[in-house]
Amino acid sequence: MPKEKILIVEDNKALSKLIVKKMNASLDFDVVAVYSFAEAKALVEKDNDFFVALLDLNLPDAPDGEVVDMVLSHNIPSIILTGSMDKETREAILKKDVIDYVVKGNIDDVNYIFSLIERLHKNRGVKVLVVDDSMVQRAQLKELLKHQMFTVMVAAHGEEALVFLRDNPDIKLVLTDFNMPVIDGLELTKEIRKSKSKNELPIIAMTASNKELISAQFLKIGANDFINKPFTKEELACRIHNSLDVVELLGRVQQLANYDFLTNISNRRHFFECMHAYMLETKEPFALCMIDVDNFKTINDSFGHDVGDSVLITLAKVLKDNLKGSDIVARFGGEEFCVALKNVDEKQALEFFFKLRTIIATTPIRPSGHKAFNFTVSMGVTFSDLESIDAMLKHADMALYKAKQNGKNRVEVA
């Protein structure tokens, strides 16, 4: 599949080459650079399939921003580059249907371009819900957000918004007014926070009345940010992007804290958290299985640690692919894994683990430069008739030891 393209129209060739070089190093796009209005016009008349365009506001053959209107007429999303910014220029830019503007000052301004393009690329997969009882305001906000490449849904009040949220669990941001009929913005925020935290679903509140009082109330009950009406599209876009950036950063931190970096399954700490919560919430029967790769040191010594890593990654994938969504699999460390099989009786669990052992033993590893080979695992299983997860793990470890002692590549029960 061909890469998406970015168009740069900038008469300063040194700056243009710098931007192209940095883009090629950090962004997965094809970058096309031209240096004049005439070149840009000839290009987009032949091909207007660009993800975004960076447009110099003042070109030698188009000194008054003509290139912006020309490129926008071809429905190419655009970011304006300008060497200076005064009030009149800024107001003129913001009246156009552009994404943003960047003042060409120093390397930080160039870096902002990259972060903005990355943000826009992410925005195409983000659903935003706008909640406002004003039809005019809803339409304006929808248009603004579409320029930022979001998928936008609109609701006239809080009750309608809750229906949208129920039917569209993939909504990633809520933008809500305060004064609305049926359910206002404060009550909507309270309802959302009953099931979604600030780190899961950011909420930005808006109002034009009782600014200080209302803003404090919104923030205290869980809004991520607050914006006073009237606001510029520039301010709103910055606040939205900042909120999404924070939530995504927290998500990455949580991913690093809870998941094994090599296999991308739960780590030991996260497994204990999930299992302690599960055992408090339910009395349903479940099984626990400790799994250890047989002869793992020999694999590493024979083929190298890269192949050893491939074995662990393959094993993690086989485990994930064969478990139910509610089951838990974790890497405990080294070549040791643990599976919690939920809501099964002993007979069902043993049938599953015997079958799983066979699937693993018949899954080949194909290392580069070596013949394909198969690996095996030993399994120790125990059941939920014990008083704690720690006690179960001790029993599963004893069963795993028995499997190793009895010849490996087998399932034992404790």
335 is catalytic: yes
- In a domain, residue 64? The reply is yes
Domain boundary among 236, 255, 274: 255
Rounded Cα distance between 277 and 198, Å, is 21
Q: Are residues 43 and 172 in the same domain?
A: no
Q: Is the dihedral of CA 368, 374, 378, 383 positive or negative?
A: positive
Domain count, the chain: 3
pLDDT digits (tens, 9 = 90+) for 203-216: 999 988 666 678 88
Do 282 and 206 fall into the same domain?
no
Please report whether residue 261 resides in a domain. no
Count of CA atoms in the C-beta half-sphere (13 A) of 167: 9
Distance CA 79, CA 100 (A): 5
CA distance 256 to 276: 20
Residues 384 and 356 both lie in one domain = yes
Mark whether 147 and 91 lie in a shared domain. Answer: no
Average pLDDT over residues 53-69: 93
Tokens of 352: 């599953």
Which of the listed residues 90, 121, 152 is the one where a domain comes to its end? 121
CATH number of residue 177's parent domain: 3.40.50.2300
**End-to-end Cα distance, the chain:** 52
Residues 131 and 206 in one domain: yes
Contacts of 387 by beta carbon, 8 Å cutoff, 6+ apart: none
Q: Are 16 and 35 in contact (CB under 8 A)?
A: yes
Q: Which domain holds residue 223?
A: 124-255
DSSP letters along 346-374, please? HHHHHHHHHHHHHHHHT-EE--TTS--EE
Length of the chain: 414
Q: 257: burial class by Cβ within 10 Å (0-12, 13-18, 19+)?
A: exposed
Quick check: is 386 in a domain?
yes
Query: Which candidate in 10, 335, 336, 412 is catalytic?
Result: 335
Quick one: 283 and 189 in the same domain?
no
- Of 12-16, 59-63, 132-136, 200-204, the one with minimum mean pLDDT is 12-16
**Same-domain pairing of 169 and 90:** no
Q: What is the pLDDT of residues 221-238, one digit of tens each?
A: 999 999 988 888 889 999
Is there a single domain that holds both residue 248 and residue 280? no
C-alpha–C-alpha distance, residues 338 and 361, integer Å: 17
**Looking at the domain assignment, is residue 238 inside a domain?**
yes
pLDDT one-digit tens code per residue, 253-288: 988 999 999 999 999 999 999 999 999 888 899 999
Query: How many angstroms separate the CA atoms of 154 and 180, rounded?
Result: 13
1 has pLDDT over 80: no
CATH at 336: 3.30.70.270
Per the prediction, the chain carries an average pLDDT of 92
Mean pLDDT, rounded, for 311-334: 95
Q: End of a domain among 229, 255, 281? A: 255
Global pTM value: 0.76
Which residue has 């970015």 as its token pair? Answer: 6
Percent of the chain with pLDDT over 70: 99
| Residue 142 shares a structural domain with residue 203 | yes
Q: What is the DSSP string of 132-193?
A: -S-HHHHHHHHHHHHHTT-EEEEESSHHHHHHHHHH-TTEEEEEEESS-SSS-HHHHHHHHH
Domain co-membership, 223 together with 130: yes
